[in-house]
């Protein structure tokens, strides 16, 4: 795992699959699929660029496990 600070950064900087991320991705998908914007259009880039998101509904296994572990 590397140095102790490396593990601390992994925990503190980890991305969470939350409603805010999902809503941005969903808005980008609507722009692309419903409004015919290009993936590289300013409208889509403005939604996703800040957090380096992609307009895909791919949920990682880790994210899924985090959700079921809460319940």
The confidence score (pLDDT) of residue 69 equals 59
Q: Is there a contact between 55 and 32 (Cβ–Cβ < 8 Å)?
A: yes
Does residue 71 surpass a pLDDT of 50? no
Residues above pLDDT 90, as percent of the chain: 6
Interatomic CA distance for residues 51 and 4, integer angstroms: 26
Mean pLDDT for the stretch of residues 51-57? 70
Does residue 7 surpass a pLDDT of 80? yes
Does residue 46 surpass a pLDDT of 60? yes
Q: CB-hemisphere CA count at 13 Å for 23?
A: 3
pTM above threshold 0.95? no
């Amino acid at each position: 795992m590397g140095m102790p600070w490396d593990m601390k950064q992994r925990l503190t900087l980890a991305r969470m699959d939350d409603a805010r991320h999902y809503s941005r991705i969903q808005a980008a998908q609507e722009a692309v699929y419903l409004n015919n914007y290009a993936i590289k259009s300013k409208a889509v880039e403005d939604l996703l660029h800040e957090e380096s998101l992609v307009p895909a509904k791919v949920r990682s296994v880790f994210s899924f496990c985090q959700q079921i572990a809460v319940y």
